[in-house]
């Protein structure tokens, strides 16, 4: 079976579980940020183990289940937990769940993550909208033979050379900024730089990344964004600053700190996602 067939098999299995629910919005929850999954109404909960060909997370804080239902009244599919390259997974495995969302007909995704803050002035626990990214992972999930069927009949999709000039949808960012302003907690925008991990960065690397224009650093999201764009899916990225990046604080970095900060703000993120879901689903549904 080809990779495309594996994705189709997983999507077909999920379609049967979802019944009449047709999610137009997908959400991926990062380290320690799983609470939004429990805000989903009438949830259909599918553990990753039961989905054909789906990779299973090995990291604490990534519980590994798909939750479909409605959020803010919009039909959504939420991935609680993701797999990473540093766990030993291939590029194809890391992006498999995003491919399945594409096959399910999702038109937009909200990708959330835990990130180290590089910019001066970031507060721990703050959410930052991703305006753009820098891929320093050393690999690209589109390497290898191109699979045009991943276009799923959407225009300008499934292409060998995928345009990334608006990786993070301008209009979705505008919606997110407006919604957050209404809440009295306006979101700032930042630049997310992705490394492969699992070691954290050195202070010299963080100084170099700052010079390059990065304000956030993390170990996920970028591969998902790339394959989402390959499938013509709009992306909104939200980082939670779980810690100050290496060299910017007196204490050493740890996954425990990342996870703890995530836990402290996951409810706030759940509320934000609840409000965003309605607006974003309305925007993308209007076109289909």
C-alpha distance from residue 277 to each of 8, 39, 77, 245, 260 (Å): 26, 12, 11, 30, 25
19 φ/ψ sector (left φ>0, alpha ψ -120 to 50, else beta) = left
φ, ψ at 258 (rounded to 5°): -55, -50
User: For this structure, is 84 an active site residue?
Assistant: yes
Q: How far is the CB of 66 from ligand HPA (least distance, A)?
A: 23
Stretch that binds ligand HPA, among 2-10, 33-41, 114-122, 129-137 (CB under 6 A): 114-122
* Span 229-258, contacts to ligand HPA by CB under 6 A: 242-243, 245, 253, 258
Using CB under 6 A, which of 115, 277, 280, 284 touches ligand HPA? 115
Q: Catalytic residue among 3, 9, 38, 86, which? A: 86
Between 201 and 234, CB nearer to ligand HPA: 201
Q: DSSP letters of 178-210? A: HHHHHTT-PPEEEEEEE---SS---HHHHHHHH
User: For this structure, is 87 an active site residue?
Assistant: yes
* 128 near ligand HPA, rule: CB under 6 A: no
Q: DSSP letters of 29-93? A: E-TT-GGGGGG-EEEEEEEGGGSTT-----STT---EEEEEEETTEEEEEEE----GGGT--HHH
For ligand HPA, which residue has the nearest CB? 116
* Span 256-285, contacts to ligand HPA by CB under 6 A: 258
* 67 near ligand HPA, rule: CB under 6 A: no
The rounded distance, in Å, linking the Cα atoms of 217 and 206 is 8
Q: Catalytic residue among 243, 245, 246, 281, which? A: 243
* 216 near ligand HPA, rule: CB under 6 A: no
Active-site residues, by number, are 31, 62, 84, 86-87, 114, 219-220, 243, 255
Which positions touch ligand HPA (CB under 6 A)? 114-116, 200-201, 217-219, 242-243, 245, 253, 258
């Amino acid at each position: 079976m080809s990779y495309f067939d594996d994705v189709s098999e997983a999507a077909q299995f999920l379609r049967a579980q979802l019944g009449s629910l047709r999610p137009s919005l997908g959400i991926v929850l990062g380290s320690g940020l799983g609470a939004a999954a429990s805000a989903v109404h009438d949830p259909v909960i599918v553990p990753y183990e039961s989905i054909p060909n789906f990779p299973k997370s090995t990291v604490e804080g990534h519980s590994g289940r798909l939750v479909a239902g409605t959020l803010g009244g919009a039909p959504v599919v939420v991935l609680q937990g993701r797999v990473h390259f540093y766990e030993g997974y291939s590029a194809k495995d890391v992006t498999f769940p995003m491919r399945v969302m594409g096959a399910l007909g999702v038109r937009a995704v909200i990708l959330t993550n835990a990130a180290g803050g590089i910019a001066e002035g970031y507060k721990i626990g703050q959410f930052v909208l991703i305006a753009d990214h820098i891929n320093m992972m050393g690999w690209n999930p589109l390497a290898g033979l191109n699979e045009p069927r991943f276009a799923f009949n959407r225009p300008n999709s499934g292409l060998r050379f995928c345009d990334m000039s608006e990786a993070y949808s301008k209009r979705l960012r505008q919606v997110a900024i407006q919604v957050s302003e209404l809440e009295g907690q306006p979101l700032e925008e930042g630049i997310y730089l992705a490394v492969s991990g699992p070691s954290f960065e050195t202070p010299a690397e963080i100084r170099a990344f700052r010079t390059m224009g990065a304000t956030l650093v993390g170990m996920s999201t970028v591969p998902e964004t790339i394959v989402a764009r390959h499938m013509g899916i709009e992306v909104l990225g939200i980082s939670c600053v779980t810690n100050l990046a290496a060299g910017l604080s007196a204490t050493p970095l740890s996954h425990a700190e990342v996870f703890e900060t995530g836990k402290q703000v996951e409810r706030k993120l759940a509320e934000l996602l609840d409000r965003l879901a309605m607006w974003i689903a309305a925007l993308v549904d209007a076109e289909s």
